[in-house]
Structure 1
Amino acid sequence: MNSKILIFSVLLIVTLMCLGCISQPDSLQEDGLSGEEIGNIEEVEGLWMGSLEVQGGLELRLLFNISTMLDGSINATMDSLDQGVSGISVDTVTYKDGNLRLGAKSVGGVFEGTLKEDGKTLEGEWKQAELTLPLVLDRIEEKPDTRREQDPVKPYPYDEEEVVYENTAAGVTLAGTLTLPRSEGLFPAVILITGSGAQNRDEEIMGHRPFLVLSDYLTRRGIAVLRVDDRGVGGSTGGFSQATTEDFAGDVLSGIEYLKSREEIDPSRIGLIGHSEGGLIAPIVAVESPDVAFIVLMAGTGIPGEEILYLQNDLISRAEGVDNETIAQNIALMKSMYSVVKEEQDDTIAAEKLRKLIMDEVANMSEEEKQNSGYSEASSDTWVNASVQTLLSPWMRFFLTYDPSSTLMRVTCPVLAINGEKDLQVPPGENLKAIDEALKAGGNEDYTVKELPGLNHLFQTAQTGSPFEYATIEETISPTALEVIGDWISDHTQEK
């Protein structure tokens, strides 16, 4: 792989804590997407689907739905099927002389294509941030089934209820699903805490719904489960982009209070299961609230965020065949950028320093390297601004410097910490060791630390562990991981 190709992925590594979706920040908007020029729109009405080939040979299916409303207006939406993102608004539809342009401001993306003579194919390109990728859309009759083998099928042998409650301190309304066993008596309960990035209650990612599968498994074992949309996602209100890990901990505390108000739940047996960043959040909540009976850390971190990001970059790059020189260059760039984020508190000054670092790196690239990386002059400002915005977000500023070991040393409730052997995002060797040492140093007398062979960051049975495998693996969560979690919780919630 060319020595400069990974420059543009450096800034995206943090989203791989729980692989973020195709969408960019809400403020990232394509210039010129205002108004519509419509010819014979009937020619392109309907469902159109095509695949983008991105890094690592991964294919992402995009589905566009174009229709005419009763009032004559045009309605269009976009789904990223393999990332579990649906209903993205297409703000602009332009169609004239067989040329179609679809602009989605919220993701900073544009499709431009030409309708072939058969009327069944649109041949063109997808442009988003620094990327320009070929995209051929074919007309289809119905939306493909994206259900995975482990997704539960209704009717369920338990009760399912849509719930809403408040985080009054933050002025946020949280919406989720509570699943309850149908047996008699008070139930133990868990709250599922998602990984980084704006996640829905199923933690939907790359065509998988891990929290749907996990909640189904646990509820069938007699454990009530509350899974919740992150703030600003789905039915939950509030702003996600300005929130930090500590803010999300406040949302979980509100969930505990809600469960305590339910007459079906045993308030003395409420626990937390956190995946990835959720495994960072769960110990914070456990220290804050005496009502937390136990916590399960699924690929939770034990070392500071900055160290995690360097390890991620190194391991994922190697899994993708990147050479040592490139890896060293990218880590050097990361260190320079993170130094600015940590040391310069003035956002305006920090933004200028970061832009200079990035553009200096671009200036050293050959034309061939720019072409291979997907870089384009036309979209460089958009991409750089989005990258700087991500780096200077409150979440990133907190994550880079937060050391979870200081919190873990104060956790007194029982803890199960598990990682997959092939996890390249939260490497098990460094993180499980740090978690074990912190819990031991704090005097916790009931904890289990376990590495699960052959599993990746999502606890799928994997070949390399690369995030670019996630969508290609049919399994959502390994039965072994489900059993380890279920058995441990059952052992710790048995009524005495």
Structure 2
Amino acid sequence: MGHNKRVSQLNDSKNDSKNESSGDLKDIEGIWMGNLTVPGGLELRIVFNISTNPDGSVNASMDTPDQGVSGIPVESVSYKDSNLNLGVKSIKGSFEGTYKENNKTIEGEWKQAGSAFPLVLERVEKVPEMHREQDPVKPYPYTEEEVVYENKEAGVKLAGTLTLPRSEGPFPAAILITGSGQQNRNEEIAGHRPFLVLSDYLTRQGIAVLRVDDRGVGGSTGNVSQATTEDFAGDVLTGVEYLKNRKEIDSSRIGLIGHSEGGIIAPMVAVKSPDVAFIVLMAGQGITGEEISYLQSDLIYRAEGVDNETIAHNEVLLRKMYSVVKEEQNNTAAEEKLREILRAEMANTSEQKIESSDHSEAVIDAQVTSLTLPWMRFFLTYDPRPTLMKVKCPVLAIAGEKDLQVPPEENLEAIDEALKAGGNKDYTVKELPGLNHLFQTAKTGSPSEYSKIEETISPAALEIIGNWISEHTQ
């Protein structure tokens, strides 16, 4: 559920950048790093690598290490009178800043999709590795294999990692399904790799695990611009078929573990495939995306200290926009109506607020595009309850008490009621005290805390998942 505000998911090689300079390029050579705070309070490290060639040309690239992305080409570099401009065309981003001789920093703004975020870059010898305490260290006591398979119907190649216990098989297996936004196989976010930690834990318990790059990420192909959650369910179905044909896997004990949006996908796949033996929903959705969006916005704003009037106004605006998205199926007409709403909002915003707000034509364009994507149209209106009512395999649904993105009370209750109404005979629904959307032990649950918490996944959550799967795959 939008827990990953991404700068990029491209992973290209470095290239020679177009450049012009009337300043000393030595001022800007090197590795520059800064922290970017994106909507929702999530912090991401941004890194620019700048070097010069003997002929004066510049090599520049960008990394977002907290997302596991490196080598994004910086297509243009301009350095004049201490002012640095970096153009990252492939992700529609740019950095504009001023080199400060006194403290050797570059102070400026990162701009992307019409939004601008303050960014102060400092030169570093190297980017510190984010090794979290729970990250597994090689050599592993199990086998790790890079795998590739194809969703032929969609023409998508999917790449992932299969971890296999070293004991005698065939083994029960779980496919991990990421949350919303394009994510790599480790579900990398805020310097954490939750799926790496989870797969390591489960494989040590004797459970084979398949974790996969989302479409268009890492080793996987495919364009997501026209894809919906249902399309991603097709990718997971392909993964089930792949595991069924592996001799090391017990085809009668293949299950799914879905986090956030993955918690919508898992029931879809379980209903479509009789080969799914169990599903685990981690912060899974039990109500529509529209309902979640209002709750999420309210809770995150409150955690950040936003006043009640602003929160109420924001909900009114969201309701207006979502109404258009739901009722106007013609994209051109929907886009025009959304622009009218957002322009009216901009006109009613005081000049002081406009200076610090994101309301500009470029931002309006970005918001309109996002709101009319097939994924968003599906997300807002899809009700998971009818699908949950059809799930007959065992289900474990867990959520963190402090989850502000998929609030536990409303969602767990809806999941419980749907499974009960459908006559499921084996399901467990649990709210886990003190945990956030990523199942970290948290103070407030705000996304702004994710990177600051050393823990990747609470050991209590890992134990609950591991024990439940073991009990259901004996």
Establish whether residue 123 from structure 1 lines up as the match of residue 103 from structure 2.
no
The answer for the alignment partner of 1:475 in structure 2 is 455
Specify the code of the residue in structure 1 equivalent to 2:171.
F
Farther-moved stretch of structure 1 (59-68 vs 382-391): 59-68
Secondary structure of residue in 2 paired with 1:161? strand
Asked if the contact 2:9/2:183 (under 8 Å) is kept, the reply is: no
The answer for the alignment partner of 1:19 in structure 2 is 4
Taking the TM superposition and a 5 Å limit, the aligned residue runs for 1:3-82 are 17-23=2-8, 35-39=18-22, 40-53=24-37, 59-68=43-52, 73-82=57-66
For 1:184, which of 158, 161, 168 is the aligned residue? 168
Specify the code of the residue in structure 1 equivalent to 2:77.
V
Mapped to 1, the partners of 2:426 and 2:132 lie a distance apart of: 36
Asked if the contact 1:162/1:177 (under 8 Å) is kept, the reply is: yes
The answer for the alignment partner of 1:9 in structure 2 is none
The answer for the alignment partner of 1:7 in structure 2 is none
Secondary structure of residue in 1 paired with 2:20? coil
The answer for the alignment partner of 1:13 in structure 2 is none
Q: CA 1:59/1:256 → structure 2, altered by over 3 Å: closer, same or farther?
A: closer
The answer for the alignment partner of 1:216 in structure 2 is 200
Asked if the contact 1:84/1:206 (under 8 Å) is kept, the reply is: no
Mapped to 2, the partners of 1:126 and 1:276 lie a distance apart of: 28
The answer for the alignment partner of 2:438 in structure 1 is 458
Deviation at 1:110, TM superposition (A): 1.9
Specify the code of the residue in structure 2 equivalent to 1:18.
H
For 1:446, which of 407, 426, 435 is the aligned residue? 426
Establish whether residue 486 from structure 1 lines up as the match of residue 466 from structure 2.
yes
Asked if the contact 2:3/2:447 (under 8 Å) is kept, the reply is: no
For 1:353, which of 329, 332, 337 is the aligned residue? 337
Farther-moved stretch of structure 1 (148-157 vs 292-301): 148-157
Q: CA 1:189/1:54 → structure 2, altered by over 3 Å: closer, same or farther?
A: closer
Mapped to 1, the partners of 2:72 and 2:237 lie a distance apart of: 31
Mapped to 2, the partners of 1:453 and 1:272 lie a distance apart of: 24
The answer for the alignment partner of 2:137 in structure 1 is 153
1:336-391 Cα shifts (integer Å, max 9, x gaps): 1111111111111110000110110011011111123355xxxx222111111110
Asked if the contact 2:40/2:300 (under 8 Å) is kept, the reply is: no
Establish whether residue 385 from structure 1 lines up as the match of residue 370 from structure 2.
no
Specify the code of the residue in structure 2 equivalent to 1:186.
P
Secondary structure of residue in 1 paired with 2:332? helix
Q: CA 1:292/1:53 → structure 2, altered by over 3 Å: closer, same or farther?
A: closer
Q: TM-score, normalised by structure 2?
A: 0.94
Asked if the contact 1:25/1:386 (under 8 Å) is kept, the reply is: no
Asked if the contact 1:24/1:106 (under 8 Å) is kept, the reply is: no
Q: CA 1:296/1:56 → structure 2, altered by over 3 Å: closer, same or farther?
A: closer
Asked if the contact 1:167/1:250 (under 8 Å) is kept, the reply is: yes
For 1:245, which of 213, 220, 229 is the aligned residue? 229
Mapped to 2, the partners of 1:119 and 1:322 lie a distance apart of: 34
Mapped to 1, the partners of 2:55 and 2:180 lie a distance apart of: 41
Specify the code of the residue in structure 1 equivalent to 2:2.
M
Specify the code of the residue in structure 2 equivalent to 1:329.
H
Mapped to 2, the partners of 1:249 and 1:351 lie a distance apart of: 28
Establish whether residue 291 from structure 1 lines up as the match of residue 275 from structure 2.
yes
Farther-moved stretch of structure 1 (382-391 vs 134-143): 134-143
Asked if the contact 2:41/2:447 (under 8 Å) is kept, the reply is: no
The answer for the alignment partner of 1:408 in structure 2 is 388
Secondary structure of residue in 2 paired with 1:254? helix
Establish whether residue 169 from structure 1 lines up as the match of residue 153 from structure 2.
yes
Secondary structure of residue in 1 paired with 2:153? coil
Specify the code of the residue in structure 2 equivalent to 1:410.
K
Asked if the contact 1:19/1:467 (under 8 Å) is kept, the reply is: no
Identical aligned pairs, as a percentage? Answer: 72
Q: CA 1:78/1:365 → structure 2, altered by over 3 Å: closer, same or farther?
A: same
Asked if the contact 1:174/1:235 (under 8 Å) is kept, the reply is: yes
Specify the code of the residue in structure 2 equivalent to 1:20.
K
Secondary structure of residue in 2 paired with 1:64? strand
Specify the code of the residue in structure 1 equivalent to 2:20.
E
Secondary structure of residue in 2 paired with 1:179? strand
1:50-87 Cα shifts (integer Å, max 9, x gaps): 23355677653321111246887532122234444433
Asked if the contact 2:257/2:263 (under 8 Å) is kept, the reply is: yes
Mapped to 2, the partners of 1:130 and 1:350 lie a distance apart of: 20
Secondary structure of residue in 1 paired with 2:131? coil
Deviation at 1:164, TM superposition (A): 0.3
The answer for the alignment partner of 2:307 in structure 1 is 323
Secondary structure of residue in 2 paired with 1:17? coil
For 1:203, which of 182, 187, 199 is the aligned residue? 187
Q: CA 1:25/1:164 → structure 2, altered by over 3 Å: closer, same or farther?
A: closer
The answer for the alignment partner of 2:413 in structure 1 is 433
Mapped to 1, the partners of 2:409 and 2:102 lie a distance apart of: 56
Secondary structure of residue in 2 paired with 1:242? coil
The answer for the alignment partner of 1:11 in structure 2 is none
Secondary structure of residue in 2 paired with 1:409? helix
Secondary structure of residue in 2 paired with 1:216? helix
Deviation at 1:242, TM superposition (A): 1.3
For 2:80, which of 74, 92, 96 is the aligned residue? 96
Q: CA 1:61/1:182 → structure 2, altered by over 3 Å: closer, same or farther?
A: same
Mapped to 2, the partners of 1:425 and 1:288 lie a distance apart of: 27
Asked if the contact 1:21/1:85 (under 8 Å) is kept, the reply is: no
Q: TM-score, normalised by structure 1?
A: 0.90
Specify the code of the residue in structure 1 equivalent to 2:132.
R
The answer for the alignment partner of 2:120 in structure 1 is 136
Deviation at 1:23, TM superposition (A): 3.7
Asked if the contact 1:295/1:415 (under 8 Å) is kept, the reply is: yes
Q: CA 1:58/1:398 → structure 2, altered by over 3 Å: closer, same or farther?
A: closer
Q: CA 1:303/1:68 → structure 2, altered by over 3 Å: closer, same or farther?
A: same
Mapped to 2, the partners of 1:221 and 1:280 lie a distance apart of: 26
Q: CA 1:218/1:119 → structure 2, altered by over 3 Å: closer, same or farther?
A: same
Backbone CA RMSD of aligned residues: 2.1
Asked if the contact 1:391/1:397 (under 8 Å) is kept, the reply is: yes
Unmatched 5+ residue regions in structure 1?
1-15, 27-33
Secondary structure of residue in 1 paired with 2:257? strand
Aligned pairs, number = 468
Establish whether residue 106 from structure 1 lines up as the match of residue 100 from structure 2.
no
Mapped to 2, the partners of 1:69 and 1:274 lie a distance apart of: 47
Mapped to 2, the partners of 1:441 and 1:54 lie a distance apart of: 40
Q: CA 1:343/1:432 → structure 2, altered by over 3 Å: closer, same or farther?
A: same
1:155-193 Cα shifts (integer Å, max 9, x gaps): 111111110000000000000000111011211000000
